[in-house]
Amino acid sequence: MSEVNIKNIRNYLKTNILNNNTFIGREDERKEIFDLIQKTVQHGESNSALVVGPRGSGKTALIEDVLTELQKSQTFNNDAILVKLHGLIHTDDSLALRSITSQMKLDNAVDGKVFGSFAENLAYLLACLRAGEKHTSKCVIFILEEFDLFCAHHNQTLLYNLFDISQSAQTPICVLGITCRLDVIELLEKRVKSRFSHRQYFLYPCKEDCDYISRLEHTLTKIEYYLSLPEDMKFKINSTLKKQWNKTLKGLLADKKFRAVIQRLVDIDLNERTLKNILNLEIISMISGAGSRNQKEYQFFKLLVTSKQISDALKKYVGLPTEVVQWANSSLV
């Protein structure tokens, strides 16, 4: 195998593993979420729902896969606006509203004026959402990552208004929250909870009717999907080599020892993220040739200032918190 083929295979497989958002499995949940958003786009139905599951179960990947398919339609691109918020980034309702306004491309509507108070931001946003009739105005798809963190916002004002709009005959919107908190409904205030549709999709590692054999076969299908070399790949690789690679891969997947190893990983709970990390490490190691340049040794990180310089600087700092002083006295000795 030539150096060029090794490089192309490695590049393709790493790209396919790390950057491929295609979601494998969960056909029922995927169809329900797809239909939910489709109803908002095509029929102007406002909806709200939560996607709940442990970290690494594929919640975000599932939503991204649905949106990718929807965005292939010109109708979706013309009639819908996608707004994504993250609880770790938009730590209060004011930041969230600013981001919503920006993603909806409504900044110019204020004619260059600086945003005022939170109430003015909120009034401006709601006025934009209510503008137009249900069948003539664009719908808005809200994706709220780390939904439970939005529940900690003051008075849950943002959630209240989004759910209130989804329950009324105003501009059609679809609010999808993504969270790992199973008790997320209990975090909602009473007035917010009453406006939520209570539609929830749970992504557990395995359904009740899913046995270990089914989980094993599902994982092997994922491995084959990530490691196969298709005919239409953009990297140039000899066709004979592709066939040989795919044939060897199928032989590996049928090997009893390999299946036993994967079965043990599945029993431990092999989620999507862990599987990708394992495959990525294997791709780097099993194709590494003698000509590959892998750095063997790493120098420890060093500060460009000494402990004494830091201590001197801290002594000159007025109003330094006590915790920092204690840290300096205990750590910089």
Question: What is the model's pLDDT at position 288?
Answer: 53
Q: What is the CATH number of domain 27-202?
A: 3.40.50.300
Confidence of residue 117 (pLDDT cuts 50, 70, 90): low
Q: Give the residue extent of every domain in the chain.
A: 3-20+209-286, 27-202, 306-333
Other CB atoms within 10 A of residue 163 CB: 23
Give percent of the chain above pLDDT 90: 27
Q: What are phi and psi of 194, to 5 degrees?
A: -70, -20
Average pLDDT score over residue span 190-215: 77
User: In this predicted model, what pLDDT tens digit does every residue of 232-289 receive, in sequence order?
Assistant: 776 677 788 888 999 999 999 999 999 999 888 888 777 777 888 888 888 877 675 4
Contact 153, 187 (CB under 8 A): no
Lowest-confidence region among 9-23, 189-203, 206-220: 206-220
Place 179 in a pLDDT band, splitting at 50, 70 and 90: very high
Distances (CA, A) of 75 to 1, 198, 225, 261: 47, 28, 30, 46
In tens, the pLDDT along 31-88 reads 999 999 999 988 888 899 999 998 878 899 899 989 999 999 888 988 889 999 999 9
